[in-house]
Amino acid sequence: MTIELKVKTEAHTQLLDITAAVEKAVAESGFRSGVCTVFVPHTTAAVTINENADPDVVRDLIMGLGRLVPWEDGYRHVEGNSGAHLKAGLIGASEQIIVENGRLVLGVWQGIYLCEFDGPRQRRVWLKLTGDG
């Protein structure tokens, strides 16, 4: 089963907590047991699982990635967004989360984030539910 979520980002660089939206989609699907793959079909966005209790973690992640990959650094890509492509490549386009009894199995402090590196934009997030159903 595949589910598409539409997510609007509001900043050039943003880590948007999509945990609740993914949880809701899984619950409404009736899927009970297996794996939920969260995938973004974009080359300047990514998905990660990280702490969602302290907002400073998100701020620090954005700051650290900005230091690792500056927006402008003599890149040659004509669109001028190579920094976004590099960050998306470092983080990755997907994550997998176990589903048991119709619920995502995440750690106490874990949340699922859509990572926007070239926004604001309308993004798609695809969920692929595989397993016993």
Total tally of structural domains belonging to the chain? 1
pLDDT, tens only, 92-110: 999 999 999 999 999 999 9
DSSP single-letter state for residue 38: E
Higher pLDDT pick, 128 / 71: 128
**Cβ of 73: how many Cβ atoms within 10 Å?**
9
Alpha helices, DSSP H only, in 1-133? 19-29, 55-68, 82-91
Average pLDDT of span 53-63: 97
For the cut 80, the answer to whether the pLDDT of residue 126 exceeds it is yes
Rounded-to-integer distance, Cα 118 and Cα 12, Å: 5
Mean pLDDT value across the chain:
97
Rounded-to-integer distance, Cα 21 and Cα 3, Å: 11
| CATH number of the domain enclosing 67 | 2.60.120.460
Per-residue model confidence (pLDDT) at position 80: 86
pTM of the model: 0.96
Residue 100: which domain range? 2-131
Per-residue model confidence (pLDDT) at position 133: 72
